[in-house]
Amino acid sequence: MADPEAGAGGSPEPREETLVEPARVNGSAAEATLSGTELAWRPTGPIRDGGGSRKLELESDVLGFQVEGRALKVATFARGEEARPPSPLGCGGGGGDRKRGEVVVEMESEDAAQRWGDAIRDRFATLGRPKRLLIIVNPYGGKRGARKIFQTEVLPLIEAAGIHYIMQETKHRLHAQEIARSLDLRKYDGVICVSGDGILVEVVNGLLQRNDWSTAIKVPLGIIPAGTGNGMVQALLHSSGEPFSMSNAVFAIIRGHKRALDVTSVVQGKTKFFSVMMLTWGLVADIDIESEKFRWMGSARIDFYSLLRVVNLRRYSGRILFVPAPGYEGIGDPVEHTTSCKSNEAGNTNEGDTSNVCNNETCTYSGPSVDEADLEWRSLNGPFVNAWISNIAFASEGVMIAPQAQFADGYLDAAIIKDCPRSVALRLLLGMKDGSYIESPYVEYFKVKALRIEPGLRVGSSTIGGIIDADGEVLARGDVTRSGDEPEHLMAYGAPIQLTVDQGLATIFSPR
Ligand SMILES: Nc1ncnc2c1ncn2[C@@H]1O[C@H](COP(=O)(O)OP(=O)(O)OP(=O)(O)O)[C@@H](O)[C@H]1O
């Protein structure tokens, strides 16, 4: 029944009706109340099983519900206990793992149960929860566990939340990009990747290759960690104070909170790659990519190869040019004159709008509009040991590369390791666990609006260069000739590669 007092008190905001109903909650007589997005009940008869007054926040404690006859069955996913006693301060939550549970509210009539079901449905709608998802599963990523993760960790929660879904497995490299390029976005409230970070990046690139890229890129993206590194999930959960776990990643998507995400255009001539995480050149890229040949060692391969690389520390010559963010104008030296890495796109018919590349059939995204004349470039000169250029704080669960990075501040965080002794390089690698390495005098840490790498050769060699890797994809390689099974690299090592940021262009599901 409806509470006649609800909405009284002169509040200017239109308020949802408060529902109050005599019921049996998990078998005990109680008075149930639905007020705003809070479902509460207090016992009206003998208290059983230690039960007293309880409440659930629909937003943060509830996966979904079903109405069956007179019963309203609420699937809970609360921390610690199924539903918590009201806090004297009016706030709940706290630490601890979430556990699934069920609260059965048995009403006196089917009509009442139906009315409550409708009211809860309306209140979920105001929370922006997704109703239909496309879920892309990469059975090949990480330890080849994505299929199982989907079945055992994702599906039970998605089904309890009443979300309709289509699942599609990737069949080959760049398949997720193809899916994103052609999918009918009207059918979905989000695209979820059960994979490593690489598939998320393929989806972003696919969306930006569409004619309708400017609306397509707004589809909320989500990621469930099933890859080798999982930096994006770690960055999202850490920024909200949530521990890294599969269920926290899934529930973040179900709850429907979203945040804007910068997209970086990585450009060399006419070649483009769109990144949402990071680019690395030097020591870390060498460790990441070259250690592949020791995959048989399992996770020890990274530690083993890191040590090997530190003992035989490589330095790379070259230049890093950048347009500093406000507050970082003192880093490096001023540069008199630079020329853009961006080519004049043949067939670009949208003069004055550099966000589009058009030919006769298509009009895709080409990166943010930047007036080169307005930019004041500065530079750092090599030799360098490593360069990280990142939009998010974490490269993987245990590697914090850019502690001050923000998802949508419109800047990239650069952490440049200058020439240093081997013992320092080892300490810096260890300090990447918690981000403390950026305090070293051998590291320049700053934010940029744009950045250009002019990668040079390994110091002491007249032929060998390094590796440039963006979001796990090898963009350019100057160290070896490509082996037969390695995909063709997008860019040439040696020619400049430019990065510019489009602030908050994409959208991602996030716990907060
Ligand atoms: N069926 C498939 N067979 C082979 N490769 C695939 C398949 N599906 C996707 N891929 C490729 O797998 C790569 C890795 O994907 P993902 O990001 O999910 O995993 P990862 O664990 O982070 O990566 P990696 O294991 O390579 O470090 C992507 O480049 C993607 O194109």
| Atom in ligand 1 nearest the alpha carbon of residue 142 | 21
CA 246–ligand 1 middle distance (angstroms): 19
Which residues have CB under 6 Å of ligand 1?
138, 140-142, 170-175, 195-199, 202, 227-229, 472
**Mean pLDDT per 10-residue section of the chain, whose length is 512 residues:** 37 67 94 95 75 88 96 92 42 59 96 96 92 96 90 97 97 97 97 96 97 97 92 97 94 97 96 96 94 80 91 97 97 82 44 57 81 84 97 94 98 98 96 97 97 97 95 89 67 96 98 89
CA 175–ligand 1 middle distance (angstroms): 10
Nearest-CA residue for ligand 1 atom 31 is 173
| Atom in ligand 1 nearest the alpha carbon of residue 197 | 17
C-alpha to C-alpha distance for 420 and 443, rounded to whole angstroms: 9
| Atom in ligand 1 nearest the alpha carbon of residue 198 | 17
Class of residue 431 by CB neighbours under 10 A (exposed 0-12, middle 13-18, buried 19+): middle
* 197 catalytic residue (yes or no): yes
CA 198–ligand 1 middle distance (angstroms): 7
Q: pLDDT, tens digit, for every residue of 153-210?
A: 999 999 999 999 999 999 999 999 999 999 999 999 999 999 999 999 999 999 999 9
Nearest-CA residue for ligand 1 atom 10 is 173
CA 157–ligand 1 middle distance (angstroms): 25
C-alpha to C-alpha distance for 322 and 448, rounded to whole angstroms: 6
Catalytic residue among 3, 49, 122, 197: 197
ipTM of predicted complex: 0.96
Nearest-CA residue for ligand 1 atom 30 is 173
- Taking alpha carbons only, the member of 386, 510, 368, 364 closest to residue 450 is 368
User: What are the sequence ranges of the domains in the chain?
Assistant: 19-126, 132-256, 271-503
Query: What pLDDT was estimated at residue 92?
Result: 34
Query: What pLDDT was estimated at residue 123?
Result: 92
Nearest-CA residue for ligand 1 atom 23 is 141
Q: pLDDT, tens digit, for every residue of 267-317?
A: 999 999 999 999 999 999 999 999 888 877 877 888 899 999 999 999 999
Question: Under CATH, what is the fold of the domain 19-126?
Answer: PH-domain like (2.30.29)
Query: What pLDDT was estimated at residue 142?
Result: 79
Query: What pLDDT was estimated at residue 227?
Result: 87
Query: Does the structural domain 132-256 have CATH classification 3.30.450.40?
Result: no
CA 259–ligand 1 middle distance (angstroms): 25
Query: What pLDDT was estimated at residue 488?
Result: 76
How distant is the alpha carbon of residue 261 from its chain centre?
A: 8
- Domain 132-256 identical in fold to domain 271-503: no
C-alpha to C-alpha distance for 139 and 194, rounded to whole angstroms: 9
Query: What pLDDT was estimated at residue 293?
Result: 85
Question: Under CATH, what is the fold of the domain 271-503?
Answer: Tumour Suppressor Smad4 (2.60.200)
Q: Is the dihedral of CA 385, 389, 394, 396 positive or negative?
A: negative
Nearest-CA residue for ligand 1 atom 11 is 173
Query: Global pTM?
Result: 0.89
Cα angle, residue 24 at apex, residues 22 and 28 outer, rounded to 5°: 125
| Atom in ligand 1 nearest the alpha carbon of residue 473 | 29
